[in-house]
Homo-oligomer: A and B are copies of this chain.
Amino acid sequence: MYSITVRGHMMVAHSLRGDVFGPAQQLHGATFVVDVEFRRPELDADGVVVDIGRANAALGAVLAELNYRNLDDDASFAGRNTTAEFLARVIFDRMAAAIARGDLGPPGLAVDSMRVTLHESHVAAAAFDGRVR
């Protein structure tokens, strides 16, 4: 299995509902450094998993929808806690949709799984890992 990983980041505000979150129930924020790993069993004729430039552009577009925002105001997350693990899935699904739309070109269509990791500090991270097709 081959893979490439690209990195971006976003800086968001949010609050979390539930006693389990303690002080994180207050409005606070986070920098999420986001790694997306794209995997496929064989390389394409150019010798790549996907075009790294297009992968970066696609990730940048997904992160731009969230960056510099208060996620509590985002209607698409109404009634949900925007935990790091939940956001890993959101980014996974949006990257999978970008691939399906062809934003990563033909090599993207051969990607069969991805891992999205959100690093929220030097001591904590969350991830979603799953099949794309």
Q: Is A13 a contact partner of B33 (Cβ separation < 8 A)?
A: no
Q: Complex formed: what's the CA distance from A18 to B49 in Å?
A: 14
Candidates B20, B23, B32, B67; contact of A48 at CB < 8 Å: B20
CB-defined contacts of A125 to chain B, threshold 8 Å:
4-5
Residues in chain B near residue A4, CB distance under 8 A: 84-85, 124-127
Say yes or no: A67 contacts B23, CB within 8 Å: yes
Instruction: List residues of chain A with CB under 8 Å of any chain B CB.
Output: 1-9, 11-14, 16, 18, 20-24, 26-33, 37, 43, 46-49, 51-53, 67-70, 80-86, 88-89, 105, 120-130
Task: Supply 28 A–B pairs (Cβ within 8 Å), ascending by A.
Answer: A1-B130, A2-B85, A2-B127, A3-B128, A5-B125, A7-B123, A8-B123, A11-B24, A11-B29, A11-B121, A13-B28, A16-B46, A20-B53, A20-B105, A23-B67, A23-B68, A26-B69, A28-B68, A28-B70, A29-B30, A43-B86, A46-B83, A47-B83, A47-B85, A48-B85, A49-B85, A49-B126, A122-B123
